[in-house]
Amino acid sequence: MKKIFLSALLVAGLLPIAPAVSNATGALGPGEIDTSKYQYISLQDASFGPWDSRITSYGGKNDSQRCSDWSGICSLERTNERQISANLNFEVCSETQKFDCVQSVVIGGQQAQLYFLDGAKTAGSPAHTLPSGSGPALASIGDELFIVSSRGEYQYDRDKRYFLTRALDVDVVPVETAVSLNLKEGASAASGSPATADQTCYYTDGYHCYVEDRQRLAKRQIDLVLHLSTKWSGFFKGRLTDPLLTVKKQGGVQVVSVSAKPSETHRVFFKIDWDKFGDKEQKALCFGTSWCQPMEKGSTGTRNYLSSAPSALAIVQAFAAHHRDTSYLDDFEWSFGIGRYEGSDCLGPNKGLLGMVTSNAPIFQATPPTYNFGYLTYDIAGLHYKQDGKTLNLGEYDLQLRSDVARCLYGFSKAPVSATVQVISDAGKEVVATTLVSESQGFVRLSAKNFTYSQKKIRVKLTQPALTALAPFASNSSTLGKSQAAALSKTLKAVQKNAGLTCTSIFSSEANRKLALKQATAVCAAAKKLRPDLKTEAVVAPLSGSGQKAGVTLLRSY
C-alpha cells in the first residue's frame, strides 16, 4: 500500500487549474445565481462524502468525542455504555487489510496504480469486523488521476460484539490537483453546492485541493473490485450505465466486481418564481414528512432536499413552471452504494448481497424495488430537457437480481425464467422503451432504456411456465384429494427421469403462508412417493393477481 503526497503529484507535472463554472441556458442562465436575492431549491443525494476517516464515541446530546484507540470512552467492552460508530474510507487491499478495501481499478482498459491520500488514520479492529481507514484511494493512469471514494458507515453492537454495517458509498471521480493558500489546516471536503461559483474541493487534506472534473468520465468503462466482509447485505443502488455485477465468496470475504460505464445524468437546481408560488408548491415541499419548515414568500438562499425523499417526486411535479422541465447541469456519474434497508423473507438481511438497481435519474426511491402483486416496482423521476432546453433526457434503468432470490420471490424452479419490463408514466400509461432480459453468472439482468423523463414507475415481472396447476385443497387441509392425486400422477408422466420438481403453493395473505407451505410439502411428498428418482422442493409464493388462484399448487420441472 502506498501513501501519496502533493509533492509527488507536482513532480508529475500537475498544475493548479481554474475553477469550472457550469451554466444552464434552460432553467438558469449565466450570472442568474444570486443567493442573496433569490430562493433556490436543490435536490441532492444523501452522501457523506470522502471525509477523513473517524471513529466516534457518543455519550448523549452534545457529548461526542473522536477515538484514537480502544480504551476508556472508546472501549468495546460491554461495561462501556457509550455508542461507538465509525465512518471510514476504504484502504487499498493488502496483507494487513483483507476486507472492506479496494482490490483493483481498471479504467478504459488500463490497470490503475492505487495509492491512498493523506488523511486521518484510524486503527481498525478485525476481531470486531471493523477495517482500518485513512484518506480515500487515488487511482493513477498516466497523467490522469481519479479518486476512488469507498466509504463505509458502521455501528458497534455490544451484544453481538461486532460492528454492524450501516451504509456504503462508492464514487469514482476524475480529479485535478490545485494548491490554495486560502485552505485552512484541517479543512474537510467542501460540499460543492451548484450555487457556489468559487473553486471547491472534492477532497482536501487542508493544504491540497483535489478538484473534480466529472466530464472526463464520459463513455469510459470502469471495472472496480472491492473485498467486502460477509456482514454486508442488501441491495446496491446507484448511477451506472450497462452495469455488470458479480459477487463471489472467497477467502472469507465477498469479492464484489462492478463493471460499467458512467451514467449520463442531470442535476435538479432551480430558482423559485414567487409570482407562481402557491399552495401546490408549499404542499410539495412538505410531502411525506411529519414536520416541515414552510417556505416564506420572498425568502432567499438555497434549500436542499434529498433526491430519494418522497418530497423530491412531489417537488419535480409541483414546480414545473419554475424549473421549466430543464436540468441545471448535464453531468456524468459513476457511483453505487448500500443504504440502511432491512427487507424480509426473500429480501431479508440474512440473504447477503441481493442485487443492484441503477438508473441515470436524478430522483429515485430510497429503498430497493418493492415487491407487490407479482411485480418488482421502482419509482424514478427526472426533467424532460437537458441544459439547452431542447435536447431530451433519455432514461436508463437496470435491475440485477440474484437468480436464487428471484426464484424465492416467485416460487420458481431452477429452470430458465423470462420477464417483462414496463415503464409506466405518472398518468398510468405504458411508454415506449427498449428492454432487454438475460440471466448469467447467477443474476437475472433486466434493462429499460430510451424513455423520456417526467415521473416514471418501472415494473418488472418474472414468469416461468408451469407443467400444471393442481386444484386448491379443501378448506384448511393439506391432504391431497382424489382429483389432485390423479392430476399429479398424470403430470409426472411427462417429467424426465432424475429431474427436479418444484411444488409452489399460492397464498393470498400472510396468514395463509404456513398452510400453503404444508400443502406444497404434501404435493412434493406425494410426487416423491410416485417418482422416487425426482429431486423435489416445496416453496410458496404470494398471489400475483395475473390470473392465478389462491390455493393452487403449480408444478415446474427442471
- CATH number of 553's domain: 3.30.1330.60
Counting the structural domains of the chain, the total is 2
Predicted local confidence at residue 545, as pLDDT: 60
Same structural domain for residues 364 and 272? yes
Domain match, 375 and 517 both: no
- pLDDT number for residue 375: 85
Domain of residue 80, residue span = 3-462
- The amino acid that residue 300 corresponds to is T
Q: What is the dihedral of CA 124, 127, 128, 132, to 10 degrees?
A: 10
Q: What is the mean pLDDT of residues 5-26?
A: 32
Residues 222 and 328 in one domain: yes
DSSP string, 76-144: -STT--SEEEEEEE-EE--SS--SSEEEEEEETTEEPEEEEES---B--BGGGTB--BBSPEEEEETTE
Residues 74 and 168 in one domain: yes
Indicate the helix (H) or strand (E) that contains 317.
Answer: helix 310-318
Write down the pLDDT at residue 464: 86
Of 21-25, 56-60, 342-346, 535-539, which range is least confident? Answer: 21-25
- Residues 159, 236, single domain; the answer is yes
Whether residues 261 and 169 share a domain: the answer is: yes
Query: How many whole angstroms separate alpha carbon 166 and alpha carbon 234?
Result: 10
505-554 pLDDT per residue, tens: 999 888 999 999 999 999 999 999 999 999 999 999 888 765 678 899 99
At residue 11, does pLDDT exceed 80? Answer: no
Question: What value does the mean pLDDT of the chain take?
Answer: 85
Task: Give the distance, in angstroms, between the CA of residue 401 and the centroid of all CA atoms in the same chain.
Answer: 12
Are both 504 and 370 inside the same structural domain? no
Q: Are residues 493 and 448 in the same domain?
A: no
pLDDT at 28: 60
Residue 515's identity, in one-letter code, is: L
pLDDT at 90 over 90: yes
Under 8 Å between Cβ of 214 and 184: no
Question: Average pLDDT in the 119-148 region?
Answer: 92
Judge if 510 and 452 occupy the same domain.
no
Q: Residue 539's CB: how many other CB atoms inside 10 A?
A: 21
Q: Are residues 266 and 303 in the same domain?
A: yes
Same domain? For 245 and 145 the reply is: yes
C-alpha cell, 326? 430543464
* Chain segment 464-518, per-residue pLDDT in tens: 888 899 999 998 999 999 999 999 999 999 999 999 999 999 998 889 999 999 9
Q: Does residue 316 share a domain with residue 190?
A: yes
* 427-469 residue pLDDT tens: 778 877 778 888 889 999 999 998 988 778 899 888 888 889 9
Least confident residue range of 17-26, 234-243, 387-396: 17-26
Higher per-residue confidence, 504 vs 45: 504
Distance CA 74, CA 83 (A): 9
Task: Decide which of 417, 446, 462 is a domain's last residue.
Answer: 462
Cβ atoms of residues 448 and 456 within 8 Å? no
Taking a C-beta distance cutoff of 8 angstroms, is the pair 175, 213 a contact?
A: yes
- Structure confidence at residue 355 as a pLDDT band (50, 70, 90): very high
Residue after which a domain boundary falls, among 425, 443, 462: 462
- Please state, for a pLDDT cut of 70, what percent of the chain lies above it: 87
Q: pLDDT-derived band of residue 156, with 50, 70 and 90 as boundaries?
A: very high
d(CA 336, CA 88): 16
Single residue among 430, 462, 494 that ends a domain in this structure: 462
Mean pLDDT of 74-102: 93
Q: Would the pLDDT of 202 be above 90?
A: no
